[in-house]
């Protein structure tokens, strides 16, 4: 097992979670196609890439298998300017995801059980390593991977605050990974305790039965800054007791929706680092999401 952990330069944001190899069917569904594209997927890695493209220093922290897919992921994230805080595991593989793309939604199939990232546990990062970091970001995917990952996310929040960083959490429910009961309880607890939380209006209705942004806010009353995304309608930010701020989404010719939520979070967090007001942060999130909506990949092409 080998590690590549922080250099002397401190990133503004550390994103913690799994990235996988991504196989995307081309020209026909997976069951029929003879061609496919090989890339990478992973919410936290996507956010790190988005932050770097917005001009900020970001690190991605995770575990990878000692295999070609792991090398491909680390190489691509490095090529895009992301700092790697990575442990390589010789005994557990890098996860893989297969995708059938669609305009309204994409079908995905995970092969990540027992992956190197699923073995993350408390102590993977600690407060000393996070010194000087401004934001620590993770998602609801990570605690769904394993009990040790769930415990790691809990400890990560404690260590982030001890280091003086804000805790950012994207609900990002993945139905295939855990039961509805586990998801509803754990995601509500983590989102409500976050300094910044992102949630889709549709996923909140699915897991909590909350229909409107205000109902979601009532369900998560303690989150310091709650952002409710409602697809092509727009996004609403709730901050303290002030009147919520709503910014409509721009009109976009959608190629594929996967990755747009991660891009939104990256744009919003980048504007947060720049001390923008709430309306400007929401606008930045929409703009970043729009760029990803016009491509088949989770990440925009390098310019």
Closest CA to 153 of 166, 140, 171, 172: 140
**Residues forming a β-bridge with 22:** 39, 97
- Spatial distance between the Cα atoms of 123 and 267, rounded to a whole number of angstroms: 29
Catalytic residue among 232, 262, 275, 277: 262
Enter the tokens of residue 292.
């990803």
The full DSSP string for 44-94 is HHHHHHHHHHTT--EEEEEEEESSHHHHHHHHHHHHTTPEEEEEEESSSPP
Closest CA to 167 of 147, 189, 185, 149: 189
Respond yes or no: is residue 262 known to be catalytic. yes
The answer to whether residues 42 and 18 touch, using CB atoms and an 8 Å cutoff, is: yes
Closest CA to 125 of 105, 103, 151: 151
Dihedral, 101, 103, 105, 109 alpha carbons, nearest 10: 0
Phi, psi (rounded to 5 degrees) for 271: -70, -30
- Spatial distance between the Cα atoms of 107 and 238, rounded to a whole number of angstroms: 32
- Spatial distance between the Cα atoms of 107 and 105, rounded to a whole number of angstroms: 7
Give the residue numbers marked as catalytic: 262
């Amino acid at each position: 097992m080998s590690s590549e952990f922080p250099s002397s330069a401190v990133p503004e944001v550390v994103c913690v979670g799994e990235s996988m190899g991504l196989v995307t069917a081309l020209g026909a569904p997976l069951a029929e196609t003879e061609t496919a594209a090989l890339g990478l997927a992973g919410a936290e890695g996507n956010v790190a890439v988005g932050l770097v493209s917005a001009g900020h220093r970001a690190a991605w922290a995770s575990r990878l298998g000692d295999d070609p897919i792991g090398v491909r992921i680390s190489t691509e994230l490095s090529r895009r300017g992301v700092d790697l805080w990575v442990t390589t595991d010789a005994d557990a593989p890098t996860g893989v995801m297969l995708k059938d793309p669609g305009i309204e939604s994409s079908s995905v199939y995970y092969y990540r059980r027992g992956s190197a990232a699923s073995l993350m546990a408390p102590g993977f990062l600690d407060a000393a390593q996070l010194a000087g970091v401004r934001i620590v970001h993770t998602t609801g995917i990570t605690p769904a991977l394993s009990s040790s990952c769930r415990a790691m996310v809990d400890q990560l929040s404690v260590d982030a605050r001890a280091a003086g960083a804000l805790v950012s959490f994207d609900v990002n429910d993945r139905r295939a990974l855990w039961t509805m009961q586990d998801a509803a309880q754990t995601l509500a607890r983590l989102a409500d305790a976050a300094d910044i939380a992102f949630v889709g209006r549709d996923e909140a209705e699915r897991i909590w039965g909350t229909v409107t942004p205000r109902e979601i806010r009532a369900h998560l009353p303690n989150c310091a800054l709650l952002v409710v995304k409602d697809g092509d309608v727009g996004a609403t930010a709730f901050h303290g007791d002030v009147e919520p701020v709503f910014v409509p989404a721009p009109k976009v010719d959608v190629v594929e929706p996967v990755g747009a939520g991660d891009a939104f979070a990256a744009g919003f967090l980048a504007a947060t680092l720049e001390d923008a007001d709430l309306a400007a942060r929401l606008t930045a999130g929409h703009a970043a999401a729009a760029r990803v909506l016009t491509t088949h990949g989770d990440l925009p092409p390098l310019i």
